[in-house]
Amino acid sequence: MRAVVQPPMAAQFLIDNRQMAFIMSDEAANIAVFNYLPEALESSGGERLILRSEINIGTNVNSFMRVKGHISSGFVENEHYSLNRQSVLFCSLDGSFGFVRPLSEKVA
Protein backbone atom coordinates (compact mmCIF):
# COMPACT_ATOMS: atom_id res chain seq x y z
CA MET A 1 0.00 0.00 0.00
CA ARG A 2 1.25 3.49 -0.81
CA ALA A 3 2.34 5.46 2.25
CA VAL A 4 1.31 8.86 0.88
CA VAL A 5 -1.36 9.10 -1.79
CA GLN A 6 -0.91 12.06 -4.15
CA PRO A 7 -3.88 13.66 -5.95
CA PRO A 8 -4.46 11.98 -9.35
CA MET A 9 -4.08 13.89 -12.62
CA ALA A 10 -5.15 11.37 -15.28
CA ALA A 11 -6.19 7.72 -15.57
CA GLN A 12 -6.85 5.12 -18.27
CA PHE A 13 -7.37 1.39 -18.76
CA LEU A 14 -4.48 -0.83 -19.88
CA ILE A 15 -5.58 -4.01 -21.72
CA ASP A 16 -3.35 -7.08 -22.01
CA ASN A 17 -5.26 -9.88 -23.75
CA ARG A 18 -7.78 -10.95 -21.07
CA GLN A 19 -6.34 -8.90 -18.21
CA MET A 20 -7.20 -5.30 -17.48
CA ALA A 21 -5.20 -2.85 -15.41
CA PHE A 22 -5.66 0.78 -14.48
CA ILE A 23 -2.89 3.29 -15.13
CA MET A 24 -2.86 6.56 -13.21
CA SER A 25 -0.62 9.61 -12.97
CA ASP A 26 -0.42 11.86 -9.94
CA GLU A 27 0.82 15.33 -8.99
CA ALA A 28 4.18 13.94 -7.79
CA ALA A 29 5.08 12.89 -11.40
CA ASN A 30 4.44 9.19 -10.75
CA ILE A 31 2.77 6.69 -13.05
CA ALA A 32 1.16 3.80 -11.17
CA VAL A 33 -0.37 0.58 -12.51
CA PHE A 34 -3.13 -1.14 -10.52
CA ASN A 35 -4.80 -4.53 -11.06
CA TYR A 36 -8.16 -5.86 -9.96
CA LEU A 37 -7.38 -9.22 -8.32
CA PRO A 38 -10.33 -10.32 -6.15
CA GLU A 39 -8.63 -13.60 -5.19
CA ALA A 40 -5.57 -11.83 -3.71
CA LEU A 41 -5.57 -11.58 0.08
CA GLU A 42 -4.50 -7.91 0.16
CA SER A 43 -7.43 -6.88 -2.07
CA SER A 44 -9.96 -7.55 0.72
CA GLY A 45 -12.13 -9.70 -1.53
CA GLY A 46 -11.81 -7.37 -4.52
CA GLU A 47 -12.64 -4.13 -2.68
CA ARG A 48 -9.13 -2.69 -3.22
CA LEU A 49 -6.97 -2.44 -6.31
CA ILE A 50 -3.49 -3.97 -6.09
CA LEU A 51 -0.55 -1.68 -6.86
CA ARG A 52 1.58 -3.59 -9.39
CA SER A 53 4.17 -0.96 -10.27
CA GLU A 54 4.99 2.68 -9.83
CA ILE A 55 7.63 4.84 -11.48
CA ASN A 56 8.56 8.49 -11.18
CA ILE A 57 9.08 9.91 -14.66
CA GLY A 58 10.04 13.43 -13.58
CA THR A 59 7.18 15.25 -15.29
CA ASN A 60 3.44 15.54 -14.68
CA VAL A 61 1.33 13.46 -17.07
CA ASN A 62 -1.97 15.16 -17.81
CA SER A 63 -3.49 12.86 -20.45
CA PHE A 64 -3.52 9.23 -21.53
CA MET A 65 -4.79 7.74 -24.79
CA ARG A 66 -5.30 4.00 -25.32
CA VAL A 67 -4.48 2.59 -28.78
CA LYS A 68 -5.18 -0.82 -30.25
CA GLY A 69 -2.29 -3.25 -30.61
CA HIS A 70 -0.80 -3.78 -34.05
CA ILE A 71 2.14 -5.57 -35.62
CA SER A 72 4.21 -4.72 -38.64
CA SER A 73 6.75 -7.53 -38.62
CA GLY A 74 6.72 -11.20 -39.52
CA PHE A 75 8.97 -12.00 -36.57
CA VAL A 76 6.20 -12.04 -33.97
CA GLU A 77 5.62 -15.51 -32.50
CA ASN A 78 1.97 -15.17 -31.52
CA GLU A 79 0.24 -12.68 -33.81
CA HIS A 80 -3.19 -13.11 -32.17
CA TYR A 81 -1.81 -12.33 -28.70
CA SER A 82 0.07 -9.26 -29.97
CA LEU A 83 -3.11 -7.86 -31.53
CA ASN A 84 -4.97 -8.19 -28.20
CA ARG A 85 -2.46 -6.01 -26.36
CA GLN A 86 -3.13 -2.30 -26.18
CA SER A 87 -0.66 0.50 -25.58
CA VAL A 88 -1.28 3.68 -23.64
CA LEU A 89 0.27 6.89 -24.95
CA PHE A 90 0.76 9.77 -22.54
CA CYS A 91 1.47 13.50 -22.80
CA SER A 92 2.94 15.65 -20.07
CA LEU A 93 2.70 19.29 -19.07
CA ASP A 94 6.22 20.05 -20.36
CA GLY A 95 5.40 18.81 -23.89
CA SER A 96 7.00 15.37 -23.71
CA PHE A 97 5.20 12.15 -24.58
CA GLY A 98 5.74 8.44 -24.14
CA PHE A 99 3.95 5.13 -23.98
CA VAL A 100 3.29 2.18 -21.70
CA ARG A 101 2.92 -1.30 -23.18
CA PRO A 102 2.39 -4.59 -21.32
CA LEU A 103 5.22 -7.12 -21.47
CA SER A 104 4.96 -10.84 -20.84
CA GLU A 105 6.46 -12.17 -17.62
CA LYS A 106 7.61 -15.36 -19.28
CA VAL A 107 10.95 -16.63 -17.97
CA ALA A 108 13.10 -19.11 -19.83
Each residue of 95-106: pLDDT tens digit?
999 999 887 777
Write out pLDDT tens, residues 46-89.
Answer: 888 889 999 999 999 999 999 987 666 665 566 655 667 888 99
Question: Is 2 part of a structural domain of the chain?
Answer: no
The boundaries of the domain holding residue 75 are 8-100
User: What is the model's pTM?
Assistant: 0.78
d(CA 15, CA 86): 5
Tally of structural domains, the chain = 1
Closest CA to 28 of 63, 54, 1: 54
Question: Is 3 part of a structural domain of the chain?
Answer: no
